[in-house]
Amino acid sequence: MKLSRRNTLKFLLATGASVAAPQALSVTPRPQLRRPIPRSNEQLPVVGLGTWQTFDVGGSDADHAPLREVLREFVRLGGSVIDSSPMYGTAEEVVGDLANELDVRSRLWLATKVWTTGRAAGIRQMESSLSLLRVKRIDLMQVHNLVDWQTHIKTLRVWKEQGRVRYIGITHYHSGAYDELERVMKEADPDFVQLNYSIVSREAERRLLPLAAERRMAVLINRPFETGGLFGKVRAQPLPAWAADFDCASWAQFFLKFILAHPAVTCVIPATSKVKHLSDNMRAGFGRLPDSDTREKMAAWIARL
């Protein structure tokens, strides 16, 4: 049976296994680690916030209330990178509304995507995204899953020259697309590439992460928890004691710190609608990260489960 993160935490508590203590989540030991965007040296916090499914909610205050607290805590803990897409239902609108309500827009670094075919349709969709997010300029516009990328890249280069977008990117979420993603990275030469990578899905290490480093592309990581599957994998397991050596106090931090310890990674964007999970995720960006030998030890530990 696959357990959700929430049920996994309940199981661990019931069995006395190791989880991050509530008091550990309320303490911010040091400023969050930041990484430079290679082509500009602009610094970004290493833990961002995804919005797939989690921010796709109705317009009532009851729908918005938990996400309002997530966004408030995200900013309080030094987060800024929020990633969305027209594909994610109402997510862009909800982010725009809540950022305006909390008066935190100036503290956010917003990324979204174009997800359609044809030049005119792409322009209409991107105009809509800017309107929903309540901005005149977007930090990062990405071609979602490489859909009609040749067309949209041309438009995005014009928009970048005009100052309507600051950075251009491409995305995919599955290793089955890596051959095409590698080709587009070389041909389009974007500022950012977003891809899936986790402690159990390491295909990106072989070609794409080295290529991004070589081409000086910033890297956003999606699906760091394998859509929650990793928490089911560790549901009956205590956190290894040696995780404390790199300031790790929960399984979420274990998985995220593994990713962040790769030098080509700029920012990881786990999605959540729960403040407790947001706070836990954000702590992965504080303190020490594992070295290369420890990363292999971490991966081997999970592989044995």
283-296: pLDDT as tens digits? 999 999 999 999 99
CB 247 within 8 A of CB 29: yes
Return the pLDDT at 31. Answer: 81
Domains recognised in the chain with CATH numbers = 5-303 (3.20.20.100)
Coil, helix or strand at residue 202: coil
Cα-Cα-Cα-Cα dihedral sign, residues 121, 127, 128, 130: positive
Coil, helix or strand at residue 57: coil
Six token digits for residue 234: 């560790």
CB 49 within 8 A of CB 278: yes
Containing H/E element for 96? Answer: helix 91-102
CB 266 within 8 A of CB 37: yes
Degrees (nearest 5) of the Cα angle 267, 27, 84? 30
d(CA 117, CA 151) in angstroms, rounded, equals 8
What's the mean per-residue pLDDT of the chain?
92
> For every one of its 305 residues, what pLDDT tens digit does the chain have, with 9 covering 90 and above?
344 555 544 444 443 333 333 333 444 446 899 999 999 999 999 999 999 999 999 999 999 999 999 999 999 999 999 999 999 999 999 999 999 999 999 999 999 999 999 999 999 999 999 999 999 999 999 999 999 999 999 999 999 999 999 999 999 999 999 999 999 999 999 999 999 999 999 999 999 999 999 999 999 999 999 999 999 999 989 999 999 999 999 999 999 999 999 999 999 999 999 999 999 999 999 999 999 999 999 999 999 99
Return the pLDDT at 236. Answer: 86
pTM over 0.85: yes
What does each C-alpha distance from 239 to 18, 20, 143, 155 come to in angstroms?
5, 9, 38, 48
d(CA 235, CA 9) in angstroms, rounded, equals 8
Amino acid identity, position 215: R
Q: Label residue 256 exposed, middle or buried (CB < 10 Å: 0-12, 13-18, 19+).
A: buried
